[in-house]
Amino acid sequence: MLNNLTQRLSRVVKTIRGEARITEANVADMLREVRLALLEADVALPVVREFTARVKDKALGQEVVGSLSPGQALVGVVHKELAALMGPGAVGLNLAVQPPAVVLMAGLQGAGKTTTTAKLAKWLIERQKKKVLTVSCDVYRPAAIAQLQTVSQQAGAEFLPSSPDEKPLDIAKRAIAHARAHHIDVLLVDTAGRLAVDAEMMREIADLHAALAPIETLFVVDAMQGQDALATARAFHDALPLTGIVLTKLDGDARGGAALSVHHVTGAPVKFAGVSEKIDGLEAFDPTRMADRILGMGDVVALVEEAQRSVDIQAAQKLAQKVKSGEQFDLNDFLMQLQQMNKMGGLQSLMDKLPAEMQARAGQADMDKASRDVRRMQGIICSMTPQERRKPDLIKASRKRRIATGAGVQVQDVNRMLGQFEQMRDMMKKMKGGKLFKMMQRMGG
Query: Which of positions 245-264 make contact with ligand GDP (CB under 6 A)?
Result: 248-249, 251-252
Question: Minimal distance in Å, beta carbon 277 to ligand GDP?
Answer: 4
Stretch that binds ligand GDP, among 74-82, 243-251, 295-303, 402-410 (CB under 6 A): 243-251
Residues 6+ apart with CB under 8 A from 79: 291, 292, 295, 297, 301
Q: Is 230 annotated as a binding residue?
A: no
Binding ligand GDP by CB under 6 A: which of 47, 111, 120, 418?
111
The residue type at 195: L
Binding ligand GDP by CB under 6 A: which of 6, 72, 114, 261?
114
- Residue 87: C-alpha distances to residues 261, 377, 394 (Å): 10, 43, 59
Q: Using the Cα atoms of residue 152, residue 154, residue 157 and residue 160 in order, give the sign of their dihedral.
A: positive
Q: Is 73 annotated as a binding residue?
A: no
Nearer to ligand GDP among residue 112 and residue 269 (C-beta):
112
Classify strands 101-106 and 244-248 as parallel, antiparallel or unpaired: unpaired
Q: Is 179 annotated as a binding residue?
A: no
Question: Minimal distance in Å, beta carbon 274 to ligand GDP?
Answer: 2
Number of residues that bind ligand GDP (CB under 6 A): 18
Binding ligand GDP by CB under 6 A: which of 69, 72, 115, 340?
115
Question: Minimal distance in Å, beta carbon 196 to ligand GDP?
Answer: 13
- Residue 104: beta bridge partners? 189, 217
Question: Minimal distance in Å, beta carbon 1 to ligand GDP?
Answer: 11
Q: Is 6 annotated as a binding residue?
A: no
Query: Which of positions 188-217 make contact with ligand GDP (CB under 6 A)?
Result: 193
Q: Is 112 annotated as a binding residue?
A: yes
Stretch that binds ligand GDP, among 25-33, 106-114, 125-133, 437-445 (CB under 6 A): 106-114
Query: Which of positions 268-327 make contact with ligand GDP (CB under 6 A)?
Result: 274-277, 281
Within 161-239, strands assigned E span: 186-190, 216-222
56-62 LR contacts (CB < 8 Å, sep 24+): 56/27, 56/31, 59/22, 59/27, 59/30, 59/31, 60/22, 60/24, 60/27
Residue nearest to ligand GDP (CB): 274
Contact of 424 with 329, CB cutoff 8 Å: yes
Q: How many CA atoms lie within 13 A of 62 on its CB side?
A: 0
Counting contacts by CB under 6 A, is residue 168 touching ligand GDP?
A: no
Residue 217, classified by CB atoms within 10 Å of its CB into exposed (0-12), middle (13-18) or buried (19+), is buried
Question: Minimal distance in Å, beta carbon 313 to ligand GDP?
Answer: 46
Question: Minimal distance in Å, beta carbon 141 to ligand GDP?
Answer: 9
Q: Is 122 annotated as a binding residue?
A: no
**Spatial distance between the Cα atoms of 163 and 175, rounded to a whole number of angstroms:** 13
Q: Is 109 annotated as a binding residue?
A: yes
Nearer to ligand GDP among residue 137 and residue 294 (C-beta):
137
The torsion angles phi and psi of 329, rounded to 5 degrees, stand at: -80, 120
Q: Is 278 annotated as a binding residue?
A: no
Contact of 275 with 302, CB cutoff 8 Å: no
Binding ligand GDP by CB under 6 A: which of 70, 107, 214, 444?
107
Q: Using the Cα atoms of residue 377, residue 381, residue 384 and residue 390 in order, give the sign of their dihedral.
A: positive
Stretch that binds ligand GDP, among 48-56, 63-71, 104-112, 315-323 (CB under 6 A): 104-112
Question: Minimal distance in Å, beta carbon 407 to ligand GDP?
Answer: 53
Question: Minimal distance in Å, beta carbon 321 to ligand GDP?
Answer: 57
Q: Is 111 annotated as a binding residue?
A: yes
Q: How many CA atoms lie within 13 A of 326 on its CB side?
A: 0
- Residue 298: C-alpha distances to residues 130, 253, 256 (Å): 33, 20, 19
Q: Name the DSSP letter for residue 392.
A: G
The torsion angles phi and psi of 404, rounded to 5 degrees, stand at: -60, -45
Q: Is 107 annotated as a binding residue?
A: yes
Nearer to ligand GDP among residue 109 and residue 339 (C-beta):
109
Contact of 255 with 8, CB cutoff 8 Å: no
Q: Is 194 annotated as a binding residue?
A: yes
- Closest listed residue to residue 112, CA positions, set 213, 259, 235, 218: 218
Nearer to ligand GDP among residue 22 and residue 275 (C-beta):
275
Residues belonging to the binding site for GTP are 107-114, 190-194, 248-251
Binding residues vs ligand GDP (CB under 6 A):
107, 109-115, 193, 248-249, 251-252, 274-277, 281
Residues belonging to the binding site are 107-114, 190-194, 248-251
